[in-house]
């Protein structure tokens, strides 16, 4: 997938989270979360700039998704600590959802959305690196398919808009 296609997949993956956050009265957090997911949608492709790290290797795995999620969860804990001046309670966002949990989910979903986009192409991804060498692919279209990339982008915009509309209608 190219950038536009990855944006679309990220928006599709983000839409349910946006719905939940807006329904909980945290539209502000939904906007920040969505912005972060779009900003970092290409994060797994950092492997292009890392010597000795193969493309679609370690940074294209669920292990990397968990690592990024842990970092974002830690940022959520730190932000809660700064905001409250004390050790965070893990029920600070709304209805039992903590900022740390939202941070973790944002980090994991950002990477998983990228992996899903790459799994749509014939090259696929190894979700279970380093535990397996198997590559998973749906092989629907090549990464450079303009129609697929713009189509996914349009679907992502629609899904996010629909989630926001439905959440506000609740």
Local confidence band at 83 (pLDDT 50, 70, 90 cut-offs): low
Of all residues in the chain, the percent with pLDDT exceeding 90 is 79
CB neighbour burial string for 99-125, b if at least 16 within 10 angstroms, e if fewer: bbbbbbbbbbbbbbbbbbbbbbbeebb
Which residue did the predictor score with more confidence, 85 or 24? 24
Whole-number pLDDT of residue 96: 41
Instruction: Tell the residue number behind the tokens 């926001």, with chain if given.
Output: 164
pTM: 0.89
Report pLDDT digits (tens) over 18-76: 999 999 888 999 999 999 999 999 999 999 999 999 999 999 999 999 999 999 998 88
CB 144 within 8 Å of CB 123:
no
How far is the CA of 134 from the CAs of 82, 86, 125, 126, in angstroms? 43, 45, 8, 6
What's the mean per-residue pLDDT of the chain? Answer: 91
């Amino acid at each position: 997938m190219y950038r536009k296609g990855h944006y679309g997949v990220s928006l599709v993956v983000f839409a349910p989270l946006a719905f939940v956050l807006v329904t909980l009265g945290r539209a502000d957090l939904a906007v920040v979360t969505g912005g972060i997911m779009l900003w970092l949608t290409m994060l797994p492709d950092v492997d292009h700039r890392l010597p000795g790290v193969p493309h679609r290797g370690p940074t294209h795995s669920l292990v990397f998704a968990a690592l990024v999620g842990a970092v974002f969860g830690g940022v959520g804990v730190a932000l809660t600590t700064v905001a409250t001046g004390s050790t965070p309670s893990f029920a600070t966002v709304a209805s039992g959802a903590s900022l740390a949990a939202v941070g973790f989910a944002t980090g994991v979903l950002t990477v998983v959305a990228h992996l899903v986009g790459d799994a749509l192409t014939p090259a696929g991804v190894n979700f279970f690196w380093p535990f397996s060498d198997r590559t998973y692919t749906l092989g629907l279209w090549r990464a450079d398919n303009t129609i697929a990339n713009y189509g996914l982008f349009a679907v992502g915009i629609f899904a996010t808009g629909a989630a926001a509309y439905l959440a506000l209608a609740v």
